[in-house]
Amino acid sequence: MSAGFDNMLHFVGVVEDAHDLTNSGRVRVRAFGIHPPRDAKTNEDSVPTAYLPWATVLDGTYGTSPIIPSVGDWVFGFFIDGREAQQPIVMGRLPGMNLSFPAGSGEPGEDGYTPPEAIHKWGEPHCHRYVTGEDAGMGQGVNQRVYQRSNIETADGGSFDEPAIMMPENNYTNRVLQSKDGDNFIVLGSGEDGDASDYFLISHSSGSVVQIDANGTVFIKAFGDKYNSTEGCEATNVQGSFDQNISEDYTLQVGKAGTIKIKGDLDIECNDFNVRAARNINLHSALKTNVSGAGIGLHATADDINMVAQANLKAMTNLGGMYFKCLMPGNIAGDGGDFHVDSYKTNLYSLAYTKIHSTGTPAISAQVLPYPDVAHLGVDISSKTSLRIDALATMNINALGIMGINSGAALGIKSIGTLDIHSTAQLGLGAGALVNLDGTLVNIGNGTASATGGLATGTVTSSLAPQIVQSALGAVPNISVTELAAVVKPPEITNSLFPKLKRLVERLKPIITGVMGSGDNLD
């Protein structure tokens, strides 16, 4: 051994085995001139690969990124034990083209040093294709170029193209860190400032890539799935525009509260737009809130619908009518289906007719304003001052029961035509002062009662409106026969957390009630 240190034997050889079971990174090397080559005729070794000594590979990286030579690589080294040639050490690899065939594949008598498993490397340059520019059609570069997307639409109607991924080039100033097969690599491109060759590239054999070009543009593309995960905070700052184009579904889930602030406009365009909140939904605008649709439905499942306007509250229908239905009966505990209109001034106007109907069902609720509600029925028209009923044509006042006309002051009944007052029973005329009967002819008795009754009946008949007289039928038409309000409750969002939380709360209610007491409001 000591003689070897003084007289080390240098060699050039070829690696035949790189599978060191001790995981020390050693290789078996057939040293030219020391270990005979395979016989070209028999394709057999006088010194089989298994008999070659293991060579230690010098590592100048001190363990940070040791590189083990591959089978078929030509290496340079020395035997530390001199001519005994049992303890080889590999100092480095000899770059260049391996032009030696395995034994039996060349001319007769030709030495064959290349192992059969390395024949695919015959004539292959040792420098990577991103340095030599050769074999540009190999590897993932073709797929990267074929699947370069262009004219990708953005939400604002614009479009953009994916940046081009750098292809193999003849640039001997590039530095490439590659895997053994060269299909996974990192390229540190070198070039002048602004030159396209000044780039950084991480490329996977699948085609997935991370690239920074000469302008500093960062491009990341995955040919498979892509996941971003962090256990801490993630902050993104974009000084320009931010466009996302998603061909299929988009899902966003936030564990706690969320805030979106936009200084400009926010436009959302979709097919169906569903918003569901476990509690309240608040919409507020400094100017106006406009809602438009072919049909608009409001459905309150448990409480009121409140509309308040600082100025006017307007409603208009262009083709149809306006319908309100609140026929639910009341109860002793509260109000029933009341319809109230309170205003400073009230005007009712119709082009055809105006009808007011009441079935006369007694009220049973405990309401006391504007008057006690229990047992109240019928139609009341009340005025604190004057009450005027005016008709440009006929007017008919009819009651199947008792009718009373009372005035606290003067009462005037005047007719330009005939005035007939008739009663099938008793008719009384009385006054606390004078009773005046005046006419060109005054008949008292003489069978005038029947004539007067006939005239009165004819006057009443002619005053009836041409429409169906509901009073004669004893029925009131259904005012909602044309349209009944129908609103479909919006569907629940699929995979929503709210139903699960609701079911959890329902299960916990008995336990919480036992701790807090039944008097506490769990809602």
Q: Mind listing the pLDDT tens digit for each residue in 342-363? A: 888 888 888 888 888 888 888 8
Half-sphere exposure of 210 (CA within 13 A, CB side): 6
102 cis-preceded (ω within 30 degrees of 0): no
pLDDT at 411 over 60: yes
Q: Is the pLDDT of residue 499 over 80?
A: no
pLDDT digits (tens, 9 = 90+) for 363-383: 877 777 667 777 788 888 888
Contact between 86 and 4 (Cβ < 8 Å): no
Of the candidate ranges 82-91, 125-134, 227-236, the one whose mean pLDDT is the lowest: 125-134
Distance, first Cα to last Cα, the chain: 89
Output the pLDDT for position 373: 77
Q: How many CB atoms lie within 10 A of CB 349?
A: 5
Instruction: Name the more confident of 67 and 503.
Output: 67
Query: Does position 101 have pLDDT exceeding 70, yes or no?
Result: no
Q: State the chain's maximal CA–CA distance in angstroms.
A: 171
pLDDT of residue 102: 58
- Looking at every residue in the chain, the average pLDDT score rounds to 80
Mean pLDDT of 385-414: 81
Q: How many CB atoms lie within 10 A of CB 202?
A: 15
Q: Which of 239 and 487 is assigned the larger pLDDT?
A: 239
- The predicted pLDDT at position 79 comes to 95
CA 476 to the chain's CA centroid: 50
**Residue 426: pLDDT over 80:** no
Predicted confidence (pLDDT) at residue 34 exceeds the cutoff of 80:
yes
Q: What is the 3-state secondary structure (H, E, C) of 313-351?
A: CCCCCCCCCCCCCCCCCCECCECCCCCCCCCCCCCCCCC
- Give the range with max mean pLDDT: 151-155, 330-334, 443-447, 480-484: 151-155
Per-residue pLDDT at 90 exceeds 90: yes
Q: Is pLDDT above 60 for 330?
A: no
pLDDT above 80: residue 314: yes
What is the arithmetic mean of pLDDT over 497-511?
67
- pLDDT on residue 202: 95
Top-ranked range on mean pLDDT: pick from 189-198, 297-306, 471-480: 297-306
Determine the residue type at 99: L
pLDDT of residue 207: 93
Q: How confident is the model at residue 3 (pLDDT cuts 50, 70, 90)?
A: low
Segment 137-155 mean pLDDT: 87
H/E segment holding residue 211: strand 209-212
Helix (H), strand (E) counts: the chain: 6, 12
Residue entry with tokens 């292809």: 167
Task: Find the mean pLDDT for residues 289-315.
Answer: 86
Give the pLDDT score at 217: 93
Contact 469, 460 (CB under 8 A): no
Range of lowest pLDDT (40-44, 124-128, 261-265, 320-324): 40-44
Concatenated DSSP letters of 232-299: S------SS------SS------SS------SS------S------SS------SS------SS----
- pLDDT tens digits for 176-226? 888 878 889 999 988 766 678 889 999 999 999 999 999 899 999 999 999
What integer pLDDT is reported at residue 420 of this predicted model? 76
Q: Is the pLDDT of residue 89 over 70?
A: yes
pLDDT digits (tens, 9 = 90+) for 39-83: 655 556 678 889 999 999 998 887 777 788 888 888 999 999 999
Of 28 and 374, the structure prediction assigns the larger pLDDT to 28
Q: In the predicted model, is pLDDT for residue 87 greater than 80?
A: yes
Q: What pLDDT does 123 receive?
A: 65
* Token pair of 395 as six digits: 């007017």
Contact 325, 485 (CB under 8 A): yes
Query: What angle (nearest 5°) sits at the alpha carbon of residue 443, between those of residues 440 and 444?
Result: 145
pLDDT at site 361: 81
State yes or no: pLDDT of 231 exceeds 90.
Answer: yes
pLDDT higher than threshold 70 for residue 484: no
The reported pLDDT for the residue numbered 187 is 92
What residue type is assigned to position 516 of the chain? M
Q: Is 336 a residue whose pLDDT tops 90?
A: no
Report, as an integer, the average pLDDT of 276-286. Answer: 87
- Nearest CA to 160 among 172, 168, 148? 148
Q: Domains (ranges, CATH) in the chain?
A: 2-126 (2.40.50.260), 131-221 (3.10.450.190), 494-523 (no CATH)
Cα 515 from Cα 523, distance rounded (Å): 15
Range from 46-60, 406-420, 452-466 carrying the lowest mean pLDDT: 452-466
- Residue 354 to residues 27, 350, 351, Cα–Cα distance (Å): 107, 6, 9
Lowest mean pLDDT among 78-87, 106-115, 271-280, 295-304: 106-115
pTM (2 d.p.): 0.62
**Close Cβ partners of 84 (under 8 Å, ≥ 6 residues apart):** 4
pLDDT > 90? residue 317: no
